[in-house]
Amino acid sequence: MVGVLSQPQEEEPTAMKFMRRPDLDNVPRLKIAVQAFLGLGIYGEITRIAKAYRVSWLFVYKLLWQLMLLYELEVCGFCSSEAIHKEVDRQILLLRFEGHCALERI
């Protein structure tokens, strides 16, 4: 019987999509989002914020989009309480789907 030499198989590297950072709770995330909002229109500001907090610029933009979505909630005096409740529920669901986070964190 002739022995078959097996060639080592190369494993495909798997890229980590993200890493949860326990040091970035809600307060630093809010600071990042506010800084990004204040820096809108300034060239390189998102990159500067991302480097300062050691996060990706996509993460900074996601926080910015969540902040902007939050303040698009228009509650007027003419709306019924049921309409306001429906709008709040809609915004919570949008944050849940967009933010990929638990409902308790919204």
For 42-91, the pLDDT digits (tens) are 899 999 999 999 999 899 999 988 888 887 745 455 566 677 677 777 77
Q: What pLDDT score was predicted for residue 90?
A: 79
| Region 15-42 average pLDDT | 80
Whether residue 18 has pLDDT greater than 80: no
**How far apart (Å, rounded) are the C-alpha atoms in residues 105 and 58?**
19
Q: What pLDDT score was predicted for residue 41?
A: 82
Whether residue 103 has pLDDT greater than 70: no
| Region 19-39 average pLDDT | 84
Q: What pLDDT score was predicted for residue 13?
A: 56
**How far apart (Å, rounded) are the C-alpha atoms in residues 54 and 38?**
19
User: Could you give the angle at the alpha carbon of 48 between the alpha carbons of 94 and 61, nearest 5°?
Assistant: 10
What are the residue ranges of helices labelled H in the chain? 26-38, 45-53, 57-70, 81-99
With a CB cutoff of 8 Å and minimum separation 6, the contacts of 99 are 62, 66, 105, 106
Whether residue 16 has pLDDT greater than 80: no
* Amino acid letter, residue 59: F
